[in-house]
Structures are given as structure tokens and as C-alpha cells.
A and B are shown apart, each in its own frame.
Chain A
Amino acid sequence: MRTTFVNILIQKAKDNKNIHLVTGDLGFGVLQPFIDQLPKQYVNAGVAEQNMMAMAGGMASVGLIPVVYSIGNFPTLRCYEQIRNDVCYYNANVKIVCIGGGFTYGPLGMSHHATEDVAIMRALPNMRVFTPSDRLEARFLVNLMFDIQCPVYLRLERDSLIDLHSADSDFKLGAPALMRDAKGEKAIFAFGTIAKVALDVSKKLIEEGKLLDVYSLPALKPIDDRAFINILKKYKIVYTLEEHNIIGGLASIISDIIARNNLNVRLVPFAINDKLCSDVGDQDYLRGLNDIDFASVFQRVFKNW
């Protein structure tokens, strides 16, 4: 999905000279095609995220469209107040792109685990939060990002060549996207590449005669309550699965919708249990330690079916 992002960005920036890529000195190799083709629309802001984000706000105030690129928590937590005061307060047309949502950079350690970003970015007025799970969602969201004149947070993970949706899938901003229709009595919701785990769990359950529908959430803000209500009403139990802290992410979003609309559905969340992870390992390994991997989710859902 990273390549999808860069390819569409190059195309968009060729069409619109106001689009500028602003990196926090990261993106080695990945951004090179952009730098080679559009050097005048490229800014390396150095290792100075607070300045980078406020600068992006200033650039947007003159009409440019800065696409601020960094990894992990650097374009979010590190410069949160700049995003709030210098971007969101103006509803500025700044796009914030994070590579490395969740445990993408697992072995690099806790500093590089972006596991509270959704919670804090959702909390910002005017911000939109885009969380693609595959290349198809990424293509939809990156295109959309340039069609709307407002701050967007795009949370990407590493390149995945597996598309989880079918090629003809249709996405709607704010609505869940049906990833597997098993005609189930229960459903699981996920965002990001961990949606693949949800699909695998569903597949295995179907083999056991238990029907679990799977939805992804291409965007976690805005949320269209009506779209969710129509879906949630179909189930007595729904699961959420996220590579994010249990506070402020997908579990919170769905519980809010249930509470706000007085829906009679039980929510069972799979998420990081409010901790910072000091274990060393790759994305799959850390998912396992946090009980959000295939085995953990399958066993718990199967046992309690």
C-alpha cells in the first residue's frame, strides 16, 4: 500500500503543482521516484517534526497542499499540538501520512510502535482518519484524500501484495466495507492489514460450520452512524480486531455507535490491552504476544461460539 500511495501521489502532484511532499527525513528509497520526477515539489524538513508540521500549516495557508510524510509516531504524537493548533484550527489542507501503523516496525522497539495514533488523531476536530487494509482501500483513500480540502491522517503499513477485497469492491467514506459475506450471525470488524487475520479466522470458522462475516473500516473518521446501524442490527455479537490500543480505537468507535443508537448487540474487542510493548519481534510475533493474532482470535471466538 506504500507503493500505491507513492504512485498516486506522483500522479496527483504532476497534475497539481501545489501538492508538495514534505518528509521528516524518512522514506529512503520509497520516495525516490517522487524526488527524481518532482524535485521542486519536494521538501526535506529534517528531523524536526514540530517545525515540519507547523511549517505545513503555514504552507497550506498560502495555498499549497503539503503531504507530510514520516514513520511511526513521529508525524502524530511528536507534533500533536502543531497538528491541533496549526493545522486543525484552520481546517488546513494538510495530509499527514504515517508509514508504520501498529507493529509494522515491530523489531525496532516500543518507540516505533504506533499503537495510540488513531485514538489521538480521531480526537482532533476537522481531522479525517484513513486506515487502509489493502491496496484497493489505499487507492480509494489516497485518491479521496486529494479530493477533500481538509486535514487527513493516512495510516499506512508496509507494502502488502495481498488484496483482501475483491477488485470490484465499492467503498464509501464512513461506512464499513464488507470483506466476506458468510451470511453469518456474527461479524468481525477490523482496520489495517490485520483485517487479513479476521479473514483467516472467518475462513477457518466457516470450515467448522460457523459463519462469521468480515468488515473492514477504510476510515475511522468520519463515521456514518446510519451505515453502521444497518449492519450492526444484523448481529447479536460483533468482534473488533485492531492493532491499536483498546482505548480510543475501533472498539471505542463501535461501542460508541452501539451506545449512541441504543443497539442490542454485544461487542467483544480484540486489541492491545492498554500497554506499551517491550518485547522484541516482528509484526506477526507481537500480534501473538498481544492476543490479536490468528490463533488467539480464532480460539476465543470458536470456544465461545
Chain B
Amino acid sequence: MNKSKYNSIELAWLIRRHGIEMTHLSQGSHIASVLSVADILGVLYADVINIYPDDPGNVNRDYFILSKGHAGAAVYAVLAERGFFSRDILKSHYQNGSKLSGHVSHKDVPGVDASTGSLGHGLSYAVGIALALKKLARKNKVYVILGDGECDEGAVWEAALMANQYQLDNIIAIVDRNQMQSLDFTENTAKLEPFLNKWLAFNWRASEIDGHDHEALHKALKDAQEAKGPSIIIADTVKGKGVSFMELNILWHYRFPHAGEEYSQALKELKANKPKWLKDPYEENE
């Protein structure tokens, strides 16, 4: 496995830092989702997923799908930091002529296995990959991150049935359970609770953890790797995590950090939590 030069805490911080910069520059949406999923991605890409940045299509790689494709900036950021492509490309995100669309696309973006954006596709696609890997007697794992709002989609539950049917122990799903969707809280929209029990009832190995606690994420992912059937980790997160005025505020599903107070305050708060030995990629002289 290719080793990350950053630990999971550093990687998560870099994802948040890039996320603020990318959405600020592009005036793009979904920064709050980027912030909520950053720790999950940080842990996955620092220590868990088997990747080959110099050979992205290596047949021994683990697969990763961000089914909640609107947090694409976070994936592009982590892929850049893991060496799949240059950091400089991140600045083009969401802009004319860029390869980095707002929702994740695999086209010309090394390290992206699946294009997403329309919700409710990723788990099914992952089930297809996992089933094919079983048929080919390969040991790779398939990691997929779902949004909780995404679980309104019926196809998610079709996929849940099928993964159990074929006992796909090579599939590990993580729900970024930030409690919010586009217009409101999930429980005010289409109640998901009892959410854990739903997955248990579908016969998945399900657990619920603090999705910002790296130790808990590491442990849950390790347990999932050893599970007998399909696994899901409900990672309780805070939408907008790390920037106080974005946290739990529905506005930030779509709003971008505007120049001035918003942008500078967001950076100030992020920097207050920067691992001190880590260099901010946007500060030349730091």
C-alpha cells in the first residue's frame, strides 16, 4: 500500500482547507458537506484504502465511491494530497474548462472510480463492483460514502437488499450522518430514524460512531474489514464542521464563502485548528 505522507488528522485538515479555497474561488456550493465528510475521507485515504497514485487503475487497488457526489471538492482535495494529481489543479474546480466538476466525475481525473452527482446511484454501482470482484475471486474492498439525505432514494435500499443477498463482505459503506439535507433537517423531511435499525434489519453489519473521531473511525473501519457480510458505519457528523457559522446552518449547503468577513473568518477558525507542524498550502511563506 502506498503510504500517505500525512496522517489522517492532517489530511482532514487539508481537505477542509482546500474545500474553503475551492468553493471560495469558484463560488461553488456544498462547502458544508465537504466539511462534514472531511474526517471520514482523511482516515480512509491516510490509512485504510489501498491505492496506487502512480498507477491509479492498478487491479489490486481498493475502490472508492463518493455517492454523495456533491462533496466532490473533498475527494479532489484528498486525491491531490495523496499524489494522484497536482494541487494546482484544485484551483480550477467548478470553473470553465476544468476537469473537476462540482459533482465527482471520473473523466480525466486519476483516482476517481465512479462518477456521481445524482443521488442514490453510488451504492448500487458499488454493489456491482463488489459482486464482480467476488466473481473474479479478487480480494479488493469497495468503500462507498453515502449522504444521509441521499438515503431518501429508493435505490439505496434496493442496493442494501442485494448486497445482503450476495453477502458482499467486500463492501464497506459509510454514511455521513450530518442530519441535514438540501432544505431542512433529515428528520423534518423524510424521517430516517431509527436509522441504524434500518440497516440492521437489512442484515448489514451496522455500527454508529462519532464521524469526527479518528480513533473511532479507524476502529470501525477495521471491524468492517473483518465483517462477514456487507458493513455500514453511520458516522455522526456536523454539517459545516470546523467553521462555527457554517455548522448546522442550512444556508451553507449552497452558499460559498464570500470574500471579506465570511472567507477570512472561516480561514481564521480553520487555522486555529491546524496541526502546527503542517504547512498551509496557500501560504507561501508560512
Contacts and interface: CB of A to CB of B under 8 A. Distances in A.
A124 to B, nearest CB: 15
Nearest to A53: B124
Contacts of B130: 58
B235 interface: no
Interface residues of A, number: 28
Interface stretch (A80-88, A111-119, A259-267): A80-88
B158 interface: yes
Contacts of B106: 90
A51 interface: yes
B128 A56 contact: yes
Interface string B77-117: 00000000000000000000000000000110000011101
A150 interface: no
B159 A51 contact: yes
Contacts of B126: 58
Contact of B129 (A45, A48, A53, A59): A59
Given A54-B124, A82-B124, A86-B121, A62 B132 contact: yes
A50 B124 contact: yes
Contacts of A45: 162
B158 A51 contact: yes
Nearest to A50: B155
Interface in B161-199: 161-162, 165
Interface string A73-108: 000000001100110011000000000000000000
Contacts of B113: 61
B60 interface: no
A55 B131 contact: yes
B127 interface: yes
A229 interface: no
Nearest to B140: A62
**Which of A53, A56, A57, A58 gathers the greatest number of chain B CB atoms within 10 Å?**
A58
Given A51-B124, A51-B155, A58-B125, A46 B161 contact: yes
Given A46-B165, A54-B121, A62 B158 contact: no
Contact of B128 (A48, A50, A55): A55
Interface string A32-76: 000000001001011010111111111111111010000000000
B118 interface: yes
Contacts of B136: 62-64
A55 B117 CA distance: 16
Contacts of B276: none
A50 B115 CA distance: 16
A128 interface: no
A70 to B, nearest CB: 14
A20 interface: yes
Contact of A58 (B120, B127, B155, B165): B127
Contacts of A55: 124-125, 127-128, 131, 159, 162
Nearest to B125: A58
Contacts of A86: 121, 124-125
B118 A43 contact: no
B133 interface: yes
A57 B162 contact: no
Contacts of B154: 50
A50 B158 contact: yes
B132 A59 contact: yes
A168 B135 CA distance: 40
Contact of A59 (B107, B117, B128, B161): B128
**Which of A62, A64, A85 gathers the greatest number of chain B CB atoms within 10 Å?**
A62
B65 to A, nearest CB: 9
Contacts of B124: 50-55, 58, 82, 86
B254 to A, nearest CB: 22
B37 to A, nearest CB: 21
Contacts of A89: 107, 115
B132 A63 contact: yes
18 contacts: A46-B161, A48-B161, A50-B120, A50-B124, A51-B127, A51-B158, A54-B125, A55-B125, A55-B127, A60-B128, A61-B129, A62-B128, A64-B132, A64-B135, A64-B136, A81-B118, A82-B124, A89-B107
Interface of B: 106-107, 113-115, 117-118, 120-121, 124-133, 135-136, 154-155, 158-159, 161-162, 165
**Which 5 A-B residue pairings sit nearest by Cβ, starting from the closest?**
A58-B128, A54-B124, A51-B158, A55-B128, A48-B158
